[in-house]
Structure 1
Amino acid sequence: MTAHNATETLIHKGNGLQVVVGLGQSGLSVAHYLAKQGYQVAVTDAQLAPTLAAQLPDEIEVRQFGTIDAELLQQAARIIISPGISLDTPAIAAARHANIPVVSDIQLFCEACMVPIVAITGSNAKSTVTTLVGQMAADAGINVGVGGNIGIPALTLLDNTNMELAVLELSSFQLETVTNLAAKVATVLNMSPDHLDRHGDMLGYHQAKHRIFQGAKSVVINREDALTRPLVADNLPKISTGIHAPDKGQYGLITDVEGQTFIARGTERLLSADKLLMKGRHNLLNAQAALALGELAGLPLESMLETLQQFTGLEHRCQYVGSFANIDYFDDSKGTNIGSTMAAIEGLGAVYAPKDGKLLLILGGQGKGQQFGELMPFINQYVSQVLFIGEDGKQIEQHLRATKLSDDVALHQCQTLENAFVTIQQVTASSLSQVQAVLLSPACASFDQYSGYAARGEHFSRLVAQLDTAQSDSTIIS
């Protein structure tokens, strides 16, 4: 259908048109949801042939592909935008200028959802904490829906008519079009530069993230990060987390005289850190955040502690892949910003430092406008080799060289993961090598070379597996 004919058809059908912009998984869920609700729906996407178009409901006749149809948007009563599409897109900006409401699928969800919402965002660890809180609820016998930015579109959760609690991971892209989420408990886990190419600066990024607190009934804050604190009334129930000993009713860490660390609530030692299958100080913070969110959501403490001891973490999030020639390999491909990579370096580096070991770090991809010099203190402390891959590898090296990077840290341009593994074998063959672990934590998006962070992580894991295969073949030949 041409744009002209589409517009004529819509005018004849009357008002109330809902236009879905972007046909990814969330856009498809919106289209199905609105059609089921009896709305008049149209879909537009910049792709000429979106792969999910065949899954649209038959009653959606207006499908404008190949460009985001500005004329179609001007006919809308409401526009539902997919998170990957910027509000600065000319057709969207023109519609907003015309005072046409632009919202996300999350706005539709919170208006329709009849159960309490646990809302989680942050620059890093939000998938881990969302999954963990969801598992805590499920293990406590609660019919829980887990979705949002984590994979299952939020609106799809509404298909579960017996749902008692919704746990949502929310990105800054999703939140920038949400008003009055009204979550039972909300948190910004941490804040570090990310998506500045989209939000313009840290202020824009901060403002988008903090929309999660609108209408919240209670909040969880990170004592170590002032940017996580909402500008809300002082009488709102809140619990804090942190790496230091906590005050009464708060979560933190206590270390005894023998050097053993415990997750604590006030003076009560809840769980020894060595009982967690997730390793690293960053995961102790993640565990606290999940406990605090669960407490405010009404989950029983004993059950939550049981879940914590069984939780192994997420794929591509500091995931142990294997060991070859006494060197451990970790896939943190989900580390797509510098804050996440800082946490991974510090968390794993602290494990190997007591053994006089260092990390070999693989960085690179699409840098998203970040300042990679901020990694310097962590690299100087825990890393002896840095390998660069991807589109912005040379720029990242320039950022690091412009800092007070230690002369003991060697830098290598590798372009691809295959080349990186050749370099890994070369630098670790030396008897002087301090490398005890290889960490893929790129601090970058993956779309220059891969379909997503998962594909990048899977490629890394295959290359590790090939090291074992090559060793086995060598042994047979000899």
Structure 2
Amino acid sequence: MNGLVGINKVVVIGLGMTGLSVVNHLVRLPQLLDIKVIDTRDNPPGQEQLPTGVDLCAGQWNLQWLLDADLIVVSPGIALATPELLLAAQSGIELIGDIELFARAVNKPVVAITGSNGKSTVTSLVGEMAKEAGIDVGVGGNIGFAALDMLGQDHDLYVLELSSFQLETTSSLVLEAAVYLNLSEDHMDRYPGGLADYSNAKMRIFDHAKLAVYNRDDLATKPDFNGNMTSFGFDNTDYGLVMVDGAEWLAIAGEPLMAVSEIALVGRHNVANCLAALALADAVGIDRIAACQTMRRYTGLAHRCQLAVNRHGVKWVNDSKATNLASTVAALTGLQLAGKLHLLMGGDGKGADFSELKPVLADLNVQLYCFGRDGHLFSELVENAINVDTMSEAMDRAAVTVKAGDMVLLSPACASWDQFANFMARGDAFVEQALRLQDSVSGKM
């Protein structure tokens, strides 16, 4: 089943990984289709990989192709409000995305994750839980593999990260469970109706879900839903937390499952991410022992609150992907340490106002190290901040004073362009130096 009965002419808008996955999927179908691609870039990525017989219009729109089409498949980066696409829609031509094609073809269970923050972590975590349980799982969508590319591998379970852009063009995706993690402003240039329009796009994830999972601590994620619902949050309801002998435990319906202190991921927001992942894992029958084993070992995606080194009682954590204020606030909020936080901040601040960090830092036992072009903007937020030129210098200074129970956290709240090619290069440099420095604190335990 592919849901393309009566379709002959298909136009794919946008190349790259998603567009190529669409073309390759259409070519694999048993029915013969007339496939054309439009990409307004002069040299679109992936053009050399197009199959023989697929025509490409590059550098401009081709209105005739659009208006002659039976179906238009739009890549998520292209707004449906684009005039050419509006004209096609007004002419009665159906516009869908790659996830809708996936929905019409998939014949195995699917769970999906959306939200403003944490999508990739929860998606990867559920995938790792499934692997630990011995399930052949495909993990992709807005992360890693394009959803359509995974269909040819015939997995037994699919775990998809879905953006609001992908959900805009998806209407028939049946999910065993769907979670909406949280809501904050993002992509407002795409949504003229503001936060409400953005959230409504994300709410589409629940349209055909058998189980809806929302965040009790962010009720903007709760759908108007007639089916089965559950939630996650920091009280003792559904997927939540309880106290056992003075320590916090993950719990399900008030029953303790695993101590929060055993979670390998760093940060309070990742406790919430673990609870959300558990809800999805339960929905598709992933063994809870396997789920707990995964949470004890899974240290996260590279550069996102990633535990790089944990030795001599000191944790070195790479959060280089925190290139803006909101990401760093998420990493710091609710952070609990036995010792001191050695926080590395700075880089290219992109003109941001960082004053919101002051009350967050005030609640922490923190030594702040400020580096890079705009490092001076952070030194005003706390007393006794240490100002250096580079991240490397900051790490050297921290290594001299850290003790067992401390954490060295790179969460810069800035872009990396003043000193690094990108946030990945910055994170890699942090991890490499942390590995070299780890033995320098061995005598301080």
Q: TM-score, normalised by structure 2?
A: 0.82
Residues 1:266 and 2:253 are matched in the alignment: yes
Tell me whether 138-147 or 459-468 shows the greater mean CA deviation: 459-468
1:8 counterpart residue number: none
Looking at structure 2, the residues matched to 136 and 261 of structure 1 have their Cα atoms a distance apart, in angstroms, of 22
* 1:437 aligned residue (389, 398, 408): 408
Q: Name the SS of the counterpart of 2:184 in structure 1.
A: coil
Residues 1:245 and 2:245 are matched in the alignment: no
Contact 1:331/1:441 (<8 A) preserved: no
How far apart are 1:471 and its partner, in Å? Answer: 12
Q: Name the SS of the counterpart of 2:198 in structure 1.
A: helix
Q: Equivalent residues in 2 for 1:294-305 (5 A)?
A: 294-305=281-292
- In structure 2, give the amino acid aligned to 1:251: Y
1:456 counterpart residue number: 423
Q: Equivalent residues in 2 for 1:22-421 (5 A)?
A: 22-37=14-29, 38-60=32-54, 62-161=55-154, 163-200=155-192, 201-233=194-226, 236-246=227-237, 250-257=238-245, 259-321=246-308, 329-335=316-322, 338-346=325-333, 349-351=335-337, 354-362=338-346, 375-382=357-364, 385=368, 406=381, 408=383, 420-421=390-391
- In structure 1, give the amino acid aligned to 2:44: P
Tell me whether 65-74 or 211-220 shows the greater mean CA deviation: 65-74
Looking at structure 2, the residues matched to 55 and 180 of structure 1 have their Cα atoms a distance apart, in angstroms, of 29
Partner deviation per Cα, 1:266-286 (whole Å, 9 max, x = no partner) = 232111123222232222212
Q: Name the SS of the counterpart of 2:213 in structure 1.
A: strand
Looking at structure 2, the residues matched to 43 and 384 of structure 1 have their Cα atoms a distance apart, in angstroms, of 54
Looking at structure 1, the residues matched to 146 and 107 of structure 2 have their Cα atoms a distance apart, in angstroms, of 17
How far apart are 1:17 and its partner, in Å? Answer: 1.9
1:11 counterpart residue number: none
- In structure 2, give the amino acid aligned to 1:21: I
Looking at structure 1, the residues matched to 370 and 90 of structure 2 have their Cα atoms a distance apart, in angstroms, of 46
2:443 counterpart residue number: none
Contact 2:242/2:251 (<8 A) preserved: yes
Q: Name the SS of the counterpart of 2:51 in structure 1.
A: coil
RMSD between superposed Cα atoms in Å: 3.8
How many pairs were matched up? Answer: 427
How far apart are 1:231 and its partner, in Å? Answer: 1.2
Looking at structure 1, the residues matched to 417 and 191 of structure 2 have their Cα atoms a distance apart, in angstroms, of 19
Looking at structure 2, the residues matched to 470 and 407 of structure 1 have their Cα atoms a distance apart, in angstroms, of 26
- In structure 2, give the amino acid aligned to 1:193: E
Looking at structure 2, the residues matched to 225 and 93 of structure 1 have their Cα atoms a distance apart, in angstroms, of 34
Q: Name the SS of the counterpart of 1:74 in structure 2.
A: helix
Higher helix share: 1
Contact 2:102/2:147 (<8 A) preserved: yes
Contact 1:134/1:145 (<8 A) preserved: yes
Partner deviation per Cα, 1:108-132 (whole Å, 9 max, x = no partner) = 1011111221011111221111112
Looking at structure 1, the residues matched to 417 and 85 of structure 2 have their Cα atoms a distance apart, in angstroms, of 24
Residues 89 and 217 from structure 1, CA distance in 2 versus in 1: closer, same or farther, beyond 3 angstroms?
same
Looking at structure 2, the residues matched to 171 and 371 of structure 1 have their Cα atoms a distance apart, in angstroms, of 27
Contact 2:80/2:86 (<8 A) preserved: yes
Contact 1:194/1:337 (<8 A) preserved: no
Tell me whether 169-178 or 310-319 shows the greater mean CA deviation: 310-319
Residues 466 and 142 from structure 1, CA distance in 2 versus in 1: closer, same or farther, beyond 3 angstroms?
closer
Partner deviation per Cα, 1:62-106 (whole Å, 9 max, x = no partner) = 211123434432332222111222223333333334333221100
- In structure 2, give the amino acid aligned to 1:156: D
Looking at structure 2, the residues matched to 320 and 461 of structure 1 have their Cα atoms a distance apart, in angstroms, of 12
Residues 187 and 336 from structure 1, CA distance in 2 versus in 1: closer, same or farther, beyond 3 angstroms?
farther
Contact 2:342/2:398 (<8 A) preserved: no
Contact 1:180/1:215 (<8 A) preserved: yes
Residues 99 and 116 from structure 1, CA distance in 2 versus in 1: closer, same or farther, beyond 3 angstroms?
same
Q: TM-score, normalised by structure 1?
A: 0.77
Contact 1:327/1:438 (<8 A) preserved: no
Unaligned runs of 5+ in 2: 1-5, 440-445
Tell me whether 97-106 or 151-160 shows the greater mean CA deviation: 97-106
How far apart are 1:50 and its partner, in Å? Answer: 2.1
Q: Name the SS of the counterpart of 1:315 in structure 2.
A: coil
Looking at structure 2, the residues matched to 306 and 469 of structure 1 have their Cα atoms a distance apart, in angstroms, of 29
- In structure 1, give the amino acid aligned to 2:232: T
User: Share of identical aligned residues, percent?
Assistant: 37
Looking at structure 2, the residues matched to 281 and 128 of structure 1 have their Cα atoms a distance apart, in angstroms, of 13
Residues 139 and 429 from structure 1, CA distance in 2 versus in 1: closer, same or farther, beyond 3 angstroms?
closer
Contact 2:118/2:273 (<8 A) preserved: yes
